[in-house]
Amino acid sequence: MNRRHFVLTGIASGLAVATLSRPALASFGQMEVFKSPTCGCCAAWVDHMTRAGFEAVARDVDQETLWTMKDRAGVTPELSSCHTAFIDGYFIEGHVPASDVQRLLSERPDALGLTVPGMPIGSPGMEMGNQRDAYDTLLVLRDGSTEVFESHA
Q: What is the CATH number of the domain that holds 42?
A: 3.40.30.10
Task: Determine, yes or no, domain membership for 12.
Answer: no
Q: CA dihedral defined by 78, 60, 124, 126, rounded to 10 degrees?
A: -80
List, for residues 71-98, the tens digit of each pLDDT value: 999 999 999 999 999 999 999 999 999 9
Q: Quote the pLDDT of residue 59.
A: 95
Task: Determine, yes or no, domain membership for 11.
Answer: no
Residue predicted with more confidence, 20 or 35: 35
CA 37 – CA 62 distance, rounded (Å):
8
Task: Determine, yes or no, domain membership for 84.
Answer: yes
85 with 91: CB under 8 angstroms? yes
Q: What domain range includes position 139?
A: 30-152
CA 115 – CA 136 distance, rounded (Å):
9
CA 146 – CA 50 distance, rounded (Å):
27
Share of the chain above pLDDT 90, in %: 78
* pTM reported for the whole predicted model: 0.81
Task: Determine, yes or no, domain membership for 15.
Answer: no
Give the 3-state secondary structure of 34-73. Answer: EECCCCHHHHHHHHHHHHCCCCEEEEECCHHHHHHHHHHH
Provide the number of structural domains found in the chain: 1
Q: Quote the pLDDT of residue 29.
A: 77
Task: Determine, yes or no, domain membership for 3.
Answer: no
Residue predicted with more confidence, 25 or 143: 143
Task: Determine, yes or no, domain membership for 44.
Answer: yes
23-27, 59-63, 128-132 — which is least confidently predicted? 23-27
- 3-class DSSP assignment, residue 96: coil
- 3-class DSSP assignment, residue 8: helix
Does residue 28 register a pLDDT over 80?
Answer: no
